Amino acid sequence: MLWFYLLVNIGGFFGVPTAYLAKYVGFWVAYLLPGIIFFLLPPLLWYIYPRLQKMPPGGSDLGNVFRVLGICLRKSKFGRKGFWEAAKPTNLRIAGDPRAATVPWNDQFVDDVQRTFQACA
């Protein structure tokens, strides 16, 4: 993901030299610069394709994220210490919650949801 965003930012930066090339040299150079980069990508993808690790789609965890958040909101106030602990299956089992046996996530998933919310904050 970091490589993807790095290249997106580099591509966005190419708007600056392209505008100056169009103003001071001509439109043909302004179109040539992104064109060269664009035409280098198919050979690069052809070269990288055998080295890619292909995995089948795993589906969406968005429903589970909302269920984790719902359990956490019912059990404690948002932002309090231990807010995310309430949705961990081990803590659900300790509390005697009947949902503990049926939740499709583990403690690591709840930690990942917590880290995602912290990163978005």
Residues 6 or more apart whose CB falls under 8 angstroms from that of 109 comprise: 61, 64, 68
pTM here is 0.54
pLDDT exceeds 90 at position 89: no
Give the single-character DSSP code of 99. G
Reported as a pLDDT band with limits 50, 70 and 90, residue 1 is low
Supply the Cα-derived Rg of the chain in whole angstroms: 24
Dihedral of alpha carbons 97, 100, 102, 106, sign: positive
Q: What are the CA-CA distances from residue 98 to residues 75, 82, 88, 89, 116 (Å)?
A: 14, 21, 13, 11, 27
pLDDT at 65: 92
pLDDT at 57: 86
What are 24-79's pLDDT values in tens digits? Answer: 999 998 888 888 888 888 898 899 889 888 889 888 889 999 998 888 888 877 66
Mean pLDDT of 1-15: 81
pLDDT at 58: 82
What are 99-116's pLDDT values in tens digits? Answer: 767 888 888 999 999 999
> Nearest 10 degrees: CA dihedral of 77, 81, 83, 88?
-160
